[in-house]
Amino acid sequence: MRILVVTAVAVERDAVAGSGLTAIAGGVGPARAAASTATALARDAYDGVLSAGIAGGFADLVAPGATVIGTVSIAADLGAETPDGFLTLDELGFGSSTVECDPVLVGWLRAALPSAVAGGILSVSTVTGTADRSAMLRGRYPDAVAEGMEGFGVAVAAAAAGIPFAELRTISNPIGPRDRAAWRIPDALAALAAAGAALAHHA
């Protein structure tokens, strides 16, 4: 099974690619990630696409250093603000703001990473930095466990190419007030490297 792993930045790519997996640094945010993924899929053949990297996690569900397997990728801030609250693309009638992760790829991830937590992963263009926004997202998406910036972009590019998609994240910080002292980026990168090694072993 040949998998393309798409990360945001080089340090994430290098953590994954150290295990021999094919990985690219597609850029930060959903637009750059989608463009990079589409370009890579047009150039070569793959059996699946995995969006991977470090992320924030909801603190009552996952701690820094934990690994998360996505069951669905959610464009959490793609929609419209109204006096009555936020409307998703689905509610606006403009398409879907979710992409389900491929069950076969999710099964592969679960087999390789049995201690990982599974759940929805939010894709945002602006990282959450307040308790109010964290609470709002948790209330709107109660099944979500983590927040990243690229998953939905990678997902829609994979869907357009007819390629199975899944998402994998390792947790670097709690979602909420921006507190750099609480970040555990080295731990998250170490967990990402370990996940890459486990996946390479099960490929």
How much is the pTM? 0.93
State how far the Cα of 72 lies from the Cα of 155, in Å rounded to an integer: 10
pLDDT band at 67 (very low <50, low <70, confident <90, very high): very high
CATH number for the domain spanning 97: value is 3.40.50.1580
Cβ(166)–Cβ(102) below 8 Å: yes
Q: How high is the pLDDT of residue 85? A: 87
Residue 99 has pLDDT above 90, yes or no: yes
Give me the number of domains the chain comprises: 1
Q: Are 143 and 136 in contact (CB under 8 A)?
A: no
Q: Which residue range forms the structural domain that includes residue 133?
A: 3-202
pLDDT of residue 199: 93
The answer on pLDDT for 203 being more than 80 is no
* pLDDT tens track for 107-156: 999 999 999 999 999 999 999 999 999 999 999 999 999 999 999 999 99
Predicted confidence (pLDDT) at residue 20 exceeds the cutoff of 90: no
d(CA 109, CA 59): 22
pLDDT tier, 48 (very low <50, low <70, confident <90, very high otherwise):
very high
Whether the CB-CB separation of 5 and 147 falls below 8 Å is answered with: no
Instruction: Give the pair of three-digit tokens for residue 43.
Output: 């150039």
Residues 68, 133: contact at Cβ < 8 Å?
no
d(Cα 26, Cα 35) in Å, to the nearest integer?
8
Residue type, 141: Y
Stretch 174-190: mean pLDDT: 91
CA gap 30, 96 in Å, rounded? 15
CA distance 147 to 151: 9
pLDDT above 90: residue 65:
yes
- pLDDT in the model for residue 11: 97
Work out the pLDDT band at 176, boundaries 50, 70, 90.
very high
Q: How confident is the model at residue 18 (pLDDT cuts 50, 70, 90)?
A: confident
